[in-house]
């Protein structure tokens, strides 16, 4: 089944991905392409029901600035230009854009002057509405066929429309939450103007993905490395549904997982899903290799290299496979336009635990390549994966090793696991787990003096860390109630022999990173 689709041409805005997020949330499948990689035949083959031109950092008033492919305006499809997208659309269709002294950044208000299909049921004529702007240039002369439908102080043509050709341009950013009703305006464009049905659901995706996996894999064998995280778990469950026992999962247990995690992976995949699973307990090997290693990068390298080695060893024992499954997500494969809007494109590569086994000559099966993280979670629920896996906080590939500054030993890892488990248990009990991006404990390489009962103690100190974030790139400290923190500290010191002091890390990212190493 072919879903209705919208094409987003990227001109390099920081928030282009948010356009895709908003569309997907309203059940519309969409893809982001660099404006420079969209020849007419490629667009026709994609068969979108409409096209959105994103914002971007360039200025239409400067010579070599990016342009939408002319075909975009000749295909009879609805087009929505946002910010730079509006400006280039106006300029390309015979209007004018000028530099302005009145720049608008952040919150602004528009006044709705005319009814438009874009505003239907959302904004009424005469209303004053909050939007989010970020522009210096503005459209100053309408292209033929257009009329002004909303104005703002800094943009007399804040929204323009040619209802006959179904071309719309907005100076503000509807994809940003600070534009109140922005999602509803985008929905008007995709559903009312373009006629999308909103048929992109994880239930329908699941059926299509299973067909595609079967077509790709045929009678071949697939191996999939499980990490305990949500992406590899969902990829494995989906592939298993498609090809059953042709799939074998390999779980390399480096002994640096959180409390109960390895048991849960085995329980879920082997016992509940009946998936062929190789559980390799390689903790002696990893902890042995980490002996005496204190430098954070050296730790990562040691674990990464060893991981690939062990994975290859297990894979060879299986007698080989034609396909390697990966939980690569859409944000990892989007080609975004560089900040200069130039032709260079940045393509992020995906690195799973320890990196790809590069030497392997296997073809990749990546059934999540089209999905955002929250869609992967929804698909995981659809497939019946337990909530503990689907909703789990991110966990770094090198595991607890980078939460134990200094040398890693089994004793320290055991100690840290206990502290971490208490912290997470209390967070869950308080109903805060889903409000936090990541929460964990760090075992500090210092001992401090304490007093318990009538005796002196001289034990480890630990730090707790909890942050909010949307993508891990920036993070804020989670503002726990102090009573919550003192309660957790009490439990830790009372229940974990060997730890006598608890601190809370109150550093945001930047300047700190989320992990300590
Ligand atoms: P930092 O510490 O760089 O972490 O602020 C950002 C996010 O990335 C995770 N992280 C990793 N994930 N392998 C991974 O798979 C790694 O080596 C790794 N290092 C950090 C971290 O947990 C956070 O979510």
Q: So what's the pLDDT on residue 360?
A: 61
Q: Is 41 helix (H, G, I), strand (E, B) or coil?
A: helix
Cα(56)–Cα(168) distance, rounded to whole angstroms?
17
CA of 395 to the centre of ligand 1 (A): 7
Please give the share of the chain, as a percent, with pLDDT higher than 70: 95
Pocket residue to mutate for ligand 1, from 472, 476, 508, 509, most atoms within 8 A of Cβ: 472
Q: So what's the pLDDT on residue 349?
A: 35
pLDDT band at 340 (very low <50, low <70, confident <90, very high): low
Chain-centroid distance, C-alpha 123: 31
Residue of the nearest CA to atom 21 in ligand 1?
Answer: 396
Q: So what's the pLDDT on residue 332?
A: 83
Residue 269 has pLDDT above 70, yes or no: yes
Contact yes or no for 50/75 (Cβ under 8 A): no
- CB-ligand 1 contact for 229 (6 Å cutoff): no
Q: What kind and span of H or E run contains 6?
A: strand 5-10
Contact yes or no for 475/456 (Cβ under 8 A): no
Which of these is catalytic: 30, 129, 135, 173? 173
Residue 511 has pLDDT above 70, yes or no: yes
Query: 51 phi and psi, to 5 degrees?
Result: -130, 140
Residue 101 has pLDDT above 90, yes or no: no
List Cα–Cα distances, 386 to 209, 235, 267, 367, 398, in angstroms. Answer: 21, 14, 11, 20, 24
- CB-ligand 1 contact for 354 (6 Å cutoff): no
Residue of the nearest CA to atom 22 in ligand 1?
Answer: 396
What integer is the mean pLDDT of 413-431? Answer: 98
What integer is the mean pLDDT of 162-181? Answer: 96
What integer is the mean pLDDT of 114-124? Answer: 98
Q: So what's the pLDDT on residue 345?
A: 39
163 is catalytic: no
- CB-ligand 1 contact for 438 (6 Å cutoff): yes
pLDDT band at 105 (very low <50, low <70, confident <90, very high): confident
Q: So what's the pLDDT on residue 456?
A: 96
List Cα–Cα distances, 465 to 403, 421, 423, 504, in angstroms. Answer: 10, 13, 10, 6
Mean pLDDT score across all residues of the chain: 93
Residue 357 has pLDDT above 70, yes or no: no
CA of 396 to the centre of ligand 1 (A): 5
pLDDT band at 471 (very low <50, low <70, confident <90, very high): confident
Residue 346 has pLDDT above 50, yes or no: no
Contact yes or no for 30/6 (Cβ under 8 A): yes
What integer is the mean pLDDT of 422-448? Answer: 98
What integer is the mean pLDDT of 269-273? Answer: 93
What integer is the mean pLDDT of 446-470? Answer: 95
Q: So what's the pLDDT on residue 467?
A: 98
Residue of the nearest CA to atom 7 in ligand 1?
Answer: 472
Q: So what's the pLDDT on residue 133?
A: 93
Residue pointed to by tokens 């990212």 = 509
The rounded radius of gyration (Å) of the Cα atoms in the chain is 26
Report DSSP letters for 55-74, one per residue: --S--TTSTT-----GGGGT
Name the residue with higher pLDDT: 354 or 326. 326
pLDDT, one tens digit per residue, over 68-82 is 999 999 999 999 999
What integer is the mean pLDDT of 344-361? Answer: 46
393 is catalytic: no
Q: So what's the pLDDT on residue 333?
A: 83
Number of H helices, E strands in the chain: 14, 20
Residue 356 has pLDDT above 60, yes or no: no
Q: So what's the pLDDT on residue 361?
A: 77
- CB-ligand 1 contact for 228 (6 Å cutoff): no
Cα(278)–Cα(468) distance, rounded to whole angstroms?
35
What integer is the mean pLDDT of 412-427? Answer: 98
pLDDT, one tens digit per residue, over 243-259 is 999 999 999 999 999 99
- Is 455 exposed, middle or buried, given 0-12, 13-18 or 19+ CB atoms closer than 10 A? exposed
Q: So what's the pLDDT on residue 347?
A: 36
- CB-ligand 1 contact for 230 (6 Å cutoff): no
Residue 179 per-residue DSSP state: S
Q: Give residue 170's region: left, alpha or beta (phi > 0; psi -120 to 50).
A: beta
173 is catalytic: yes
Query: 122 phi and psi, to 5 degrees?
Result: -120, -60
Residue 386 has pLDDT above 80, yes or no: yes
Residue pointed to by tokens 């035949």 = 41
Pocket residue to mutate for ligand 1, from 353, 514, 516, 517, most atoms within 8 A of Cβ: 514
CA of 23 to the centre of ligand 1 (A): 28
Q: Which two tokens stand for residue 127?
A: 């209303």
| pTM of the shown model | 0.86
């Amino acid at each position: 089944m072919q879903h209705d689709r919208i094409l987003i041409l990227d001109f390099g805005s920081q928030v282009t991905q948010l356009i895709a997020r908003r569309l997907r949330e309203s059940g519309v499948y969409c893809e982001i392409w660099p404006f420079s990689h969209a020849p007419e035949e490629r667009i026709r083959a994609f068969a979108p029901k409409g096209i959105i031109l994103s914002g971007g950092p360039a200025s239409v008033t400067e010579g070599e600035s990016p342009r939408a492919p002319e075909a975009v305006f000749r295909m009879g499809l609805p087009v929505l230009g946002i910010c730079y997208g509006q400006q280039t659309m106006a300029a390309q269709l015979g209007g004018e854009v000028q530099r302005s002294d009145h720049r608008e950044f952040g919150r602004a208000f528009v006044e709705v002057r005319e009814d438009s299909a874009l505003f239907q049921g959302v904004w009424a004529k005469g209303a004053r509405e909050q939007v989010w702007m970020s522009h210096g240039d503005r459209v100053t002369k309408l292209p033929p066929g257009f009329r002004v439908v909303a104005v703002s102080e800094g943009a007399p043509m804040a929204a323009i429309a040619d209802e006959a050709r179904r071309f719309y341009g907005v100076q503000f950013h509807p994809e940003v939450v600070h534009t109140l009703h922005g999602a509803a305006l985008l929905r008007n464009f995709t559903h009312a103007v373009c006629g999308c049905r909103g048929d992109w659901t994880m239930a329908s995706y699941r059926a299509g993905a299973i067909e595609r996996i079967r077509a790709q894999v045929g009678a071949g064998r697939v191996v999939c490395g499980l990490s305990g995280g949500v992406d590899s778990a969902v990829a494995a469950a989906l592939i298993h549904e498609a090809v059953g026992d042709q799939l074998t999962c390999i779980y390399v247990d480096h002994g640096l997982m959180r409390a109960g995690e390895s048991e849960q992976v085995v329980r879920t995949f082997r016992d509940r899903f009946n998936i062929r699973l190789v559980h390799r307990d390689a903790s002696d090997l990893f902890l042995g290799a980490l002996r005496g290693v204190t430098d954070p990068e050296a730790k990562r390298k040691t674990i990464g290299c060893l991981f690939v080695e062990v994975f290859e060893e297990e894979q060879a024992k299986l007698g080989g496979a034609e396909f390697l499954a990966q939980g690569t997500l859409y944000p990892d494969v989007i080609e975004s336009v560089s900040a200069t809007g130039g032709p260079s494109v940045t393509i992020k590569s995906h690195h799973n635990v320890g990196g790809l086994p590069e030497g392997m000559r296997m073809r990749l099966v990546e059934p999540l390549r089209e999905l955002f993280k929250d869609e992967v979670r929804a698909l995981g629920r659809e497939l019946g994966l337990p909530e503990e896996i689907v909703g789990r906080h991110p966990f770094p590939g090198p595991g607890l090793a980078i939460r134990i500054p200094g040398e890693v030993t089994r004793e320290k890892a055991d100690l840290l696991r206990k502290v971490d488990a208490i912290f997470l248990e209390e967070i869950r009990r308080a109903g805060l787990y889903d409000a936090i991006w990541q929460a964990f404990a760090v075992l500090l390489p210092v001992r401090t003096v304490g007093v318990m009962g009538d005796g002196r103690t001289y034990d480890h100190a630990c730090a707790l860390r909890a942050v909010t974030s949307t993508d891990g790139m920036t993070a804020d400290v989670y503002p726990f109630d102090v009573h919550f923190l003192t309660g957790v500290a009490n439990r830790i010191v009372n229940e974990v022999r060997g730890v006598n002091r608890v601190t809370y890390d109150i550093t945001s990212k930047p300047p700190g990173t989320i992990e300590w190493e």
